[in-house]
Chains A and B, each alone.
Chain A
Amino acid sequence: MNFNNPVLFKELKLRFRSFKGFNGILFFLLAMCIFVFGYIFLTVNISGTSYFRPSQSFVLFAFLSYIQLGLVLFTAPGLTAGSISSEREKQTLPILLTTSQSSFQIISGKMLSSVAFLLLLIVAGLPVYSLVFLFGGISPWSFVKVFFFLFVTLLAIGSIGVMFSTLIRRTIVSMIVTYGTMLFLSVVTGFLFIIVIQMKAFNQMGTVITTPSYLGQFLASINPAVLFATFLSPDMGYGISELTKVDFPIWAGYLIFYGLLTVGALFIAVKRLRVNMKRLK
């Protein structure tokens, strides 16, 4: 990693110069606090007990994790899908491309400056999470897993956004395509998974499914919502293995797929940022 990244420093400076960034963080934290305290207050009041049970703190944890996931899925495209195309629209890109920065430096600067902001949001939410710990019922390990995979998802969606922003001239189109891809990965794959499993059950009417469904397992593995469900309840993971007859951990499939996606998307973005002067058409 090159720490002398002018694009990264400039973008961060600009982002925090405008107070929009701070407002966003503040609003998010406030919403989370209200939610957590509200929940604790309500459960304690309604149940009439003066303590907060671990199972309830589990619900809270699950809810917070999904909120964070939703935050990543819906803000990462917006933050990255305009990173290059907006420079093109503002006519600052040609000048940037004639500087002696490498394409990788520019792309990684763009990527990190957007991701850093979201990461800040997630980290800013940590203290609220710690409340959940206070009441017990959640192992630190599942906590670490959730955060690690939030980060993996953030990087992957961010890279896709940067890639489309490089390939597509207009920011608005790039946004639509990036959001579309995100929705496909997080929603459509879930439906496809159900369809694939249903079809399988239908084909082998009456009999127990014995042949493995690799496609089904793949679809389940690339769906962030399914992954988080397996973290929150390990039974979920076994359940899916049961259905697909493939014994491969969901998290590993997820890590491989999104890891490759991140690397591939960034590679394409770096390659396509500048014109290839060597190739003759």
Chain B
Amino acid sequence: MIEIKGLTKKYGQFTALDNLNLTLNEGTVFGFVGANGAGKSTTFLIISTLLQPTSGEVFINGVSVREKPSEIRKLIGYMPDFFGVYDQLKAEEYLDFYGASYGIPEEERKKLIPQLLELVNLSHKRDSYVDLLSRGMKQRLCLARSLIHDPKVLILDEPASGLDPRARVEMRDILKTLKGMGKTILISSHILPELAEMCDEIGVIDNGKLIAHGSVAEIQKKLQGEKVITVRLLDRVDETIAFFEEQPYVSSIEKLDGGDGISFMYRGTEEEQLGMLKEAMLADMPIVSFMEHVTNLEDVFMEITKGAEA
């Protein structure tokens, strides 16, 4: 259904997307997670024919985004992360305008618009001016707008950002309805647990690279196999860091804020962990305590995407 092949986007010297490869089947709800600036919006912009890739290709239903952008536009419904609305236009007219923009005949639009407003719970705001709606309402209206031509694929860039918890739950319910309608949905977010609940597949992007991709269960299993270990030290912190850097299955070593210890991610088994601890003792590392935390999705997301801040 959706095939992304070697997608790369450079802004001058800066590589925002680096050889992204991804294949999604029809009806999949795909969650795209990554820190600020990871490249989520860039990917969505390219799929939506709004940004020219530096190299690589995207196919939707076998149609190339680069060769036939006008056909792609009929297949997708795109909701940007930031968007504006026209003032002096009522909610109903807003949808009517976009309906007409997709060449939907007027009688059909008349039937369609009340249904869409119903779907996003905005029937009571039919006659309100769109620029006076609350942010959450605008977001729902924009979602309704992206559905007006009954697209096969929905590309939603952080549809839940700026929503209160209640509106988030509502948004999730709407997305579940859409999933039930068999639409392929790409949805981005910073918040992994939020996505985990409604997505079939999750991709984690960092610095323009897809660093993990799989079903929610797979990702969860993979992530549960990782733990964060905190080691408190008496002194000689740098020396200890050097030692742990040599060990297998260790990654993302960091000094603790107090400077009296380190933390790192560990992927090995229990036996291997025991072996590593023994070796540390033999090497006379000044270890005061050795503590492991069971990670949740959020922690792991923080770990994976740590590099993005630099």
Q: Which residues in A have some Cβ–Cβ distance to B below 8 Å?
A: 4, 6-7, 9-10, 13-14, 17-18, 90-92, 94-102, 274-281
| CA A279 to CA B52, docked complex, whole Å | 8
Residue on A nearest B102 in the bound complex, by CB: A100
CB distance from B13 to the nearest CB of A (A): 13
- Using A10-B93, A98-B73 as known contacts, list a sample of 8 further A-B pairs with CB atoms less than 8 Å apart, ordered by residue number in A: A90-B84, A91-B84, A92-B83, A92-B86, A99-B73, A275-B52, A277-B69, A278-B67
Interface string of B69-87 (1 = CB under 8 A from A): 1100110101010111110
Chain B positions within 8 Å of A281 at CB level: 52, 54
CB distance from B214 to the nearest CB of A (A): 29
Q: Which of B55, B73, B149 contacts A280 (CB 8 A)?
A: B55
Q: Which of B49, B52, B100 contacts A4 (CB 8 A)?
A: B100
CB distance from A249 to the nearest CB of B (A): 43
* Given the contacts A6-B100, A10-B97, A277-B66, A95 and B145 also touching, CB distance less than 8 Å: yes
Chain A positions within 8 Å of B86 at CB level: 10, 14, 90, 92
Q: Which of B65, B93, B149 contacts A277 (CB 8 A)?
A: B65
Residue on A nearest B79 in the bound complex, by CB: A95
| CA A277 to CA B57, docked complex, whole Å | 10
Interface of A is mostly: loop
Q: Which of B69, B88, B102 contacts A18 (CB 8 A)?
A: B88
| CA A278 to CA B101, docked complex, whole Å | 23
Candidate in B48, B76, B142 with the most chain A CB atoms within 10 angstroms:
B48
Residue on A nearest B105 in the bound complex, by CB: A4
| CA A94 to CA B65, docked complex, whole Å | 16
CB distance from B106 to the nearest CB of A (A): 10
Are A98 and B55 touching (Cβ within 8 A)? no
* Given the contacts A99-B73, A274-B69, A275-B50, A92 and B85 also touching, CB distance less than 8 Å: yes
CB distance from B11 to the nearest CB of A (A): 11
The answer to the question of B180 belonging to the interface, with a C-beta cut-off of 8 Å to chain A, is: no
| CA A281 to CA B12, docked complex, whole Å | 11
CB distance from B23 to the nearest CB of A (A): 20
Residue on A nearest B51 in the bound complex, by CB: A275
